[in-house]
Copies of this chain bind each other. A is one copy, B any other.
Amino acid sequence: MKIVALVGSLRENSFNMQLVKTIQKRYRTLFDVEIADIGILPHYNEDDEHAPSEEVKWYKQQIVEADAVIISTPEFNWSIPGVLQNALDWLSRVERPLVGKPVLPMGVSQGALGTVRAQLHLRQVLMSMGINANILPPAGNEIFIGAAGQKFQDGELTDEATLQFLDQVMDNFVAFVKEETK
């Protein structure tokens, strides 16, 4: 199973990137995680959507080849970062490879709330694209990791309770992906 991960933060020591790398390593027997760098994408421009740059082509191809997509986002201004919104803008036009792909949203914050408002907006954007049927159902599966400073060490998520919760959600997601793609 191949999963493509999109990370909404570009900073070097991003906790969201650390979360994705933790997932990549911890569940490597369950699936392969490819991290698509959305920071290389140009700003979406309708004039270019039928002949996009190599970066955009590469990025969309990653999604085409994925069995499922993970989106890990910080919260900026009660919403998602522009760079992530832009990455979704590219997916919403012409070839729309996210449609029908199982998606799992998640997020990490240094504050207490774990990006809940960002993910609410992310779900709405996905819903608009007709992806809603393929988001892992939220009950029991919402990943809001707050107080990141206490839960990550040496570039990895190390908080045991959070890891156990993540184990459950990943089991649910793998089962969901198998069901959706069979």
Residues on A close to B: CB < 8 A? 9-12, 39, 43-47, 76-89, 92, 112-114, 116-117, 120-121, 123-125, 127-130, 132-133, 135, 137-139, 144, 146
Contacts and interface: CB of A to CB of B under 8 A. Distances in A.
Contacts of A11: 45-47
A78 B125 contact: yes
Given A82-B82, A120-B78, A45 B10 contact: yes
Residue among A9, A77, A113, A120 with the most chain B CB within 10 A? A77
**Top-9 shortest CB links A-B:** A82-B86, A82-B85, A78-B128, A43-B83, A132-B132, A10-B45, A11-B46, A77-B128, A133-B133
Contacts of A86: 43, 81-83, 85-86
A46 B45 CA distance: 24
Contacts of A146: 112
A44 B113 CA distance: 22
B43 A82 contact: yes
A85 to B, nearest CB: 4
A140 to B, nearest CB: 10
A146 to B, nearest CB: 7
A13 to B, nearest CB: 8
7 contacts: A11-B46, A11-B47, A44-B83, A79-B128, A113-B113, A120-B120, A123-B127
